Amino acid sequence: MTNTRLMQQLAPYLPWLIIIAVFVLFALLRATRKGLRQRVDEIGYHLFGQRGLFVWFWLNAPGVMLHEMSHAIAVLFFAPFGFRITSITFFHIKPLAERDARGRAMHSGSRQSLQLGEVQYVRPQGRIMSYVGDGLSGVAPLFGGIIAFIFLYWVATGYNLWDIPLDASLHLQILRPGWPLWTLIFAPYLILTVTSELWPSSQDWKGARWFVCTFLVIVALALFAFWHFHNIQQADVLAVSTFIASRINFALLILLALDLAFLIVAEMIVSALRR
């Protein structure tokens, strides 16, 4: 009775709680991924000394390849507008210099950022499509990583990411009935590496910031105009937002569960190496 009464009291706020959960789960995922990297760095240091700090980058090699290929594919789409790839680099670790507002390199006493791959291209100056191409190329790894995650989740479980796998008794099913177990040998690792590298780097965001800001403003104005002239009810907008947020939360929960599993294994290895 108490639980039923509590659910009734929370019902009006449930859509907002689902939306807020997106940001909470994303923050938790960032924390677990950071903790996992710290433990991998420590394992690498114990085994290989200073060179062991590169272990995290080599573990994420598939994700780095997807990251750079996403950049390259986006550039190829704009080849009719004068875009041309000059070089694609994989597996060449080099320091990534931090720069100030004037573009000058800065020296920092903290751990230095490293870069494992790079795509360089040339394009015409001063054209609108050049800025559009820069923007889409900069954020391309985000879309490439999401597509790879959706595909790998299907490979691993047999389910689509947007279908929450519940049976008739509302019990969560990890695998589709009859789906082979051997896909769980490699798919979780590939999901980890592609999602570790799907977020555009600071350099990517720098090249894409004007396009992204302009795009968001246009989308916001379009949604406002659609809402104003078509008399859309707030409840409808909230229902759609809640549905989208629930699917994002499910994806984040999957990644969080994977992170925790890898984090436990890494912690066990670190504890053994410290003895």
User: Torsions phi, psi of 95, nearest 5?
Assistant: -65, 145
The model's pLDDT over 36-54, given as tens digits with 9 standing for 90+, comes to 999 998 998 888 887 787 8
User: Torsions phi, psi of 212, nearest 5?
Assistant: -65, -45
List the alpha helices (DSSP H) in the chain. 2-10, 14-48, 55-59, 61-77, 128-157, 187-196, 202-229, 234-274
The model's pLDDT over 173-195, given as tens digits with 9 standing for 90+, comes to 778 888 888 888 899 999 999 99
Beta-bridge partners for 115: 94
The number of beta carbons lying within 10 Å of the beta carbon of residue 180 is: 10
CA distance 145 to 63: 8
What mean pLDDT do residues 8-33 have? Answer: 85
pLDDT for position 230: 66
CB under 8 Å to 249, separation ≥6 — which residues?
18, 21, 22, 25
Q: Which amino acid is at 20?
A: I
Mean pLDDT of the chain: 81
CB under 8 Å to 31, separation ≥6 — which residues?
none
pLDDT for position 2: 55
User: Torsions phi, psi of 166, nearest 5?
Assistant: -115, 140
The model's pLDDT over 119-164, given as tens digits with 9 standing for 90+, comes to 888 888 878 888 888 888 989 999 999 999 999 999 998 888 887 7
Cα–Cα nearest to 117, from 72, 78, 147, 55: 72
CA distance 179 to 195: 24
pLDDT for position 232: 64
Domain ranges of the chain: 15-49+125-274
Contact status, residue 154 vs residue 187, Cβ threshold 8 Å: no
Instruction: Please report which confidence band the pLDDT of residue 108 belongs to, taking 50, 70 and 90 as the band edges.
Output: very low
% of the chain with per-residue pLDDT over 90: 27
Contact status, residue 165 vs residue 157, Cβ threshold 8 Å: yes
Please give the structure tokens belonging to residue 187.
């798919």
Instruction: Please report which confidence band the pLDDT of residue 219 belongs to, taking 50, 70 and 90 as the band edges.
Output: confident
Q: How many CA atoms lie within 13 A of 115 on its CB side?
A: 16
CA distance 118 to 140: 13
Contact status, residue 161 vs residue 226, Cβ threshold 8 Å: no
